[in-house]
Amino acid sequence: MKLFFTLSLLALTRILSPAIDLEPLMAVPDKVVLEHDFSEPDQLTKETWAARQGTRWSIEDSLLRGIPSSPEFQASKKDHKGLEPRVSSPATPAQFIAKFSVRFTDGRESAIVPFVEFGHHVARVKFSETSIHILGDHDSLKLAETTDLKYEPGKWYHCLAELKGEEFVIQFAGGPTLYAKHPSYALPPPSGAPGMGVTGPMGGTAEIDNVTFWTIKDEPQAGWDAKRNTFPKFEPVQVKTKK
C-alpha cells in the first residue's frame, strides 16, 4: 500500500508539473505534432526519439531515460564515443513551441555538457554550476545568460522554448526567462541531428518527461514587441572560434 501511494504521488507530481502553467510569450501555437508523457512504450521510436552516439535510452517509470553507451561501443570509437547520454527528436518543427521537463543526475559537468539544444549546434541552452546560458552561431557566441538559475544534479527543470525566425526564448517554471536573437537561428541546421536534442552529464543520466511540440502561426503573440523590450540586455560574448 505504501509503495502504491509513493508511486501515485510521483505520478501526480509529474501531472501537476509547474510546466503546465507556462504559456508562450512570442509564438502563437498552431498544431500539436508530438505529445509524450512516456506512459506507453510505443512513444519511443526512431521517428520521434533518436538515440545518438550509441547511447542507451528506454522508457522507465513513465520517463524517457538515457545513459551513456556501453564500454564496448566506447572502445570501438576514436571519437563520438557516447560518454554522455544523447538523444534528439526529429519530430520537432523547424519553428516551434516546445514544452518539456528535463533532469540530469550523476556524472559530471564539462565545458560542453549538459545541455538542451534545438537544431544541432543551433540554439543551445547550456546548464552550468555557475549559470544557465544560451549559445548561437554554432555555439561560438553566448547570447544570453542568467545566474539566478544554475545547474543542480537531480533537479527537474520545467521549460517552455520558442523559436521563430531569428528569435529564441526559453522560460523556466519558477525561474527566469532567457531571450536571444541571432541570424543563425533562422538558417537550416549546419549538419547533424535535427530537432530538439538533450545531452546529459559525462557518465551520468538524462531524463525527459511531459513533452509537447507545436507548429506555430505566422503572426506573433499580441504585445510581443513590448514584451521583448523588457528582457535584460546582453552583449554577445565570443566563447570559441566558429567552425
Q: Residues 68, 161, 128, 154: what is their CA dihedral angle, to the nearest 10 degrees?
A: -60
* pLDDT, tens digit, 9 for 90 and up, residues 2-29: 433 334 444 444 444 555 689 999 999 9
Task: Note the pLDDT of residue 46.
Answer: 87
* pLDDT, tens digit, 9 for 90 and up, residues 165-204: 999 999 999 989 999 999 999 987 766 677 999 999 999 9
Amino acid making up residue 107: G
Q: What grid cell was written down for 3?
A: 509503495
Region 223-235: mean pLDDT is 95
* pLDDT, tens digit, 9 for 90 and up, residues 203-215: 999 999 999 999 9
Instruction: Tell me if the pTM is above 0.85.
Output: yes
* pLDDT, tens digit, 9 for 90 and up, residues 53-94: 999 999 999 999 999 999 999 999 999 999 999 999 999 999
Please report, rounded to a whole number, the percentage of residues in the chain having pLDDT higher than 90: 83
pLDDT higher than threshold 70 for residue 111 = yes
DSSP type of residue 3: H
φ/ψ of residue 237, rounded to 5: -120, 125
φ/ψ of residue 240, rounded to 5: -165, 165
φ/ψ of residue 35, rounded to 5: -145, 105
